[in-house]
A = this chain, B = another copy of it.
Amino acid sequence: MLEDKNLDLTPISALGEFGLIKRLIENFEIQNSSTESKIGDDCAIINPDGKKVVISTDFLTEGVHFNLGYVPLKHLGYKAVVVNLSDIVAMNATPTQILVSIAVSNRFPVEALDEIYSGIALACKRYKVDLVGGDTTSSNAGLVISITAIGIENEENIVKRNGAKANDLLVVTGDLGGAYLGLQILEREHAVYLANPNMQPEMEGYDYILERQLKPEARTDIKKTLIELGITPTSMIDISDGLASEILHLSDQSKVGFRIYEEKIPMDSLTISTAEEFNLNPVVCALNGGEDYELLMTIAPEDYEKIKNHPDFSIIGHVVDISQGNNLVLRGSNELSQITAQGWDAFLNK
């Protein structure tokens, strides 16, 4: 569980709640002028300076969202922040602050929390967000992390899920399915390890998809790129539960249908070859795998020329009338396959 196996371990009770908090936050520096308070009061104080405030919160629970058998604690801390920042980015807003709540059982020493917080600190530095509050408490079973992310943005820049219109183009950033296949590799090698702890895990050659799973990034860069291209998306969402699930969310909120093309879905060659290794259809991994944290957006049809050759974006389909539903056009045919929600659902995928 710990990166350095030779650390002297300290029980959390030796520090107490307030001593623990002091230790965990001492290396965090404020980076935003909108952050008006240091940790230590009843609340964090934020100065939006005339802008709107966007807020999102996410739970990560041990055994459901992560398995400490193969997820390093530092990566867990980093990823917990990133998945929340991704929600802010999906509103086309700039993430500025986070609050981090962690509940741990007695089996975690202080040093385990140190590692989680070192990952959180790394993400804060990388994304220039400030840790402004949270709660640290004990749980009777396992580790639970809850992060609230805050962003600030001018009203006219905020992009919601409900603005897609018929004939808009459906655009996705980066490539899809990699995080899901990275998870398959981790689970396979962990099972091998459990069966025989002397076996070395075979991770070589899977770097890209392992990183997609263990250390995803939020696409904070896309906002700037869109400004440079002169594009304001009509709707946007981040891909946390899988492309299919996110398309259905945009459909639901915008009251439109979507038609997407199988051959247009961007996938890395390692994602495709690993899917084949597991006898999985790579497109199904992209549609239902989730955790890619790429951005899915609709743009006006007249923006086509601005984006068509840009390496960060793939046009994968377009918006149709709601009566036409949500369909995937299969490769090399005109056959339609209805898009259904098989994305990750914490209550079903257990």
- Chain A 141-157 interface 0/1 with B at a Cβ cutoff of 8 Å (1 = within): 11010101011000100
Give bound CA distance, A281 to B346, whole Å: 47
Note all chain B residues with C-beta closer than 8 A to A65.
137
- Chain A 95-122 interface 0/1 with B at a Cβ cutoff of 8 Å (1 = within): 0010101010010000000000000000
Query: Is A307 interfacial (CB 8 A cutoff)?
Result: no
Query: Is A13 interfacial (CB 8 A cutoff)?
Result: yes
Note all chain B residues with C-beta closer than 8 A to A252.
40
Query: Is A93 interfacial (CB 8 A cutoff)?
Result: yes
Q: Is the CB of A50 within 8 A of B52?
A: no
Query: Which stretch in A25-33, A53-61, A319-327 binds the other chain?
Result: A53-61
In the complex formed, the residue of B with least CB distance to A57 is B99
Note all chain B residues with C-beta closer than 8 A to A142.
139-141
In the complex formed, the residue of B with least CB distance to A160 is B41
Known: A47-B52, A161-B42. A141 touches B140 (CB 8 A): yes
Q: Is the CB of B61 within 8 A of A137?
A: yes
CB distance from A93 to the nearest CB of B (A): 7
Most chain B CB within 10 A, of A93, A141, A161, is at: A141
Note all chain B residues with C-beta closer than 8 A to A129.
none
Note all chain B residues with C-beta closer than 8 A to A144.
59, 61, 103, 139, 144
Q: Is the CB of A140 within 8 A of B63?
A: yes
Note all chain B residues with C-beta closer than 8 A to A59.
101, 103, 135, 137, 144, 146
Query: Is A205 interfacial (CB 8 A cutoff)?
Result: no
Give bound CA distance, A17 to B88, whole Å: 21
Note all chain B residues with C-beta closer than 8 A to A292.
none
Query: Is A20 interfacial (CB 8 A cutoff)?
Result: yes
Q: Is the CB of A146 within 8 A of B41?
A: no
In the complex formed, the residue of B with least CB distance to A11 is B347
Give bound CA distance, A173 to B116, whole Å: 39
Q: Is the CB of A253 within 8 A of B40?
A: yes
Q: Is the CB of B141 within 8 A of A141?
A: yes
Note all chain B residues with C-beta closer than 8 A to A345.
16-18
Known: A137-B61, A345-B16, A346-B138. A101 touches B54 (CB 8 A): no
Note all chain B residues with C-beta closer than 8 A to A244.
none
Query: Is A179 interfacial (CB 8 A cutoff)?
Result: no
Query: Is A44 interfacial (CB 8 A cutoff)?
Result: yes
In the complex formed, the residue of B with least CB distance to A346 is B137
Note all chain B residues with C-beta closer than 8 A to A52.
36, 45-48
Give bound CA distance, A42 to B237, whole Å: 7
A217-252 residues with Cβ-Cβ distance < 8 A to B are: 236-238, 252
Note all chain B residues with C-beta closer than 8 A to A58.
101, 135
Note all chain B residues with C-beta closer than 8 A to A174.
none
Note all chain B residues with C-beta closer than 8 A to A203.
none
Query: Is A12 interfacial (CB 8 A cutoff)?
Result: yes
Give bound CA distance, A44 to B151, whole Å: 10
Known: A57-B135, A58-B135. A101 touches B146 (CB 8 A): yes
25 sample A-B contacts, Cβ–Cβ < 8 Å, listed by A number? A12-B347, A16-B348, A36-B52, A41-B253, A43-B55, A43-B88, A44-B54, A44-B56, A45-B52, A45-B53, A45-B158, A46-B54, A47-B155, A48-B48, A55-B55, A55-B97, A55-B132, A55-B133, A57-B99, A57-B101, A59-B101, A63-B139, A64-B139, A138-B350, A141-B142
